[in-house]
Structure 1
Amino acid sequence: MNIKNIHIGSLIRSKVEEHQISIERISRFLELAEEDVEKLYHAKSIDTDILLKWCKLLKFDFFRFYTGHLILYSPQSRIDNAFRQKENTLVFRKSIYTQEVKDFILDKIKVGTMTANDVVERYKIPKTTLYKWMKKI
């Protein structure tokens, strides 16, 4: 799975194969012709309404791939990295890392394409967070 270049159609196809759901059932659920369902498997991106239906049918959150991409590849604003002042109280924004993001990062370290310091520097993940992940493997 490549978090940087998401091909949602192939991810959906693999989940369909994993759950062994017939094309007839999918076609009825999505209210699409079987040929259109096949076209979705080849699509790099699809409409969010249709993606939401896939999530419901397969009981899997496909949006998490995009969330992971945002965490790793979108520039963070100053507000996100620091704390926000709300009235007279401080509110700290904590990043949420999906399991796919954790696996992606840990795999980069495991195969040696990146060091822990490279990960901290490039993706702005706190050292303590990264070392907790590494400790669990």
Structure 2
Amino acid sequence: MSFKNIQIGLWIKSIVEEKKIKISEISEYFNIPEIDIIKMYDADDIDTDILLKWSVLLHYDFFRLYSQHLILYAPTNLNYTHKAEKSKPVIYGSAKNIYTKEIIDFILELIETNEKTTSQVMTEYKIPKTTLYKWIKKYRK
């Protein structure tokens, strides 16, 4: 599964199968028919209140998938300031530790499977060269 195109229903279904939870139990938890649960498995998106219930039920943070997507595909630009604010000093927090273990594993898998080169990863995801090579040295299998 990809962090680029999140099909949340497939993620939910995979965690349900991994945890071996019966659809009847899920139906009872949500208080909806089993057919509606199956429809959720095919959904590309789900309301946040329902996603929160799934997260609680499965003990899995589905919201992190979206956070990881933002980190990978829409990284923050720490140098950006609005034109009207250019005269004001800008103080930024530390950008360290924004990459979770799942993101690091995802990036390293892209490199190990030759899906992307290190230079492509640095360009596309705006990961600094030193950071990427530290990951490779530390986490490479």
5 Å-filtered alignment, 1:110-125, equals 110-125=112-127
Residue 128 of structure 2, aligned match among 119, 126, 130: 126
C-alpha deviation, 1:37, in angstroms? 0.8
Secondary structure class of the residue paired with 2:93: strand
Which residue identity does 2:70 align to in structure 1?
A: L
Which residue identity does 1:102 align to in structure 2?
A: I
Partner Cα separation in structure 1 for residue 59 and residue 44 of structure 2: 20
C-alpha deviation, 1:112, in angstroms? 1.8
Which residue of the partner structure matches residue 26 of structure 1?
Answer: 26
Give structure 1 stretches of 5+ with no counterpart. Answer: none
Superposition RMSD in Å: 2.0
Moved over 4 A (4+): none
Deviations 1:72-105 (A, max 9, x none): 111533447xxx42xxxx6333351123321221
1:57 to 2:57 alignment? yes
Which residue of the partner structure matches residue 93 of structure 1?
Answer: 95
Give structure 2 stretches of 5+ with no counterpart. Answer: 81-89
C-alpha deviation, 1:68, in angstroms? 1.3
Would you say how many aligned residue pairs link Structure 1 and Structure 2? 131
**Is this contact kept in 2: 1:64–1:98, CA < 8 A?**
no
Which residue identity does 1:132 align to in structure 2?
A: K
| TM-score normalised by length of structure 1 | 0.84
Which residue identity does 2:65 align to in structure 1?
A: F
Structure with the higher strand share, 1 or 2: 1
1:2 to 2:2 alignment? yes
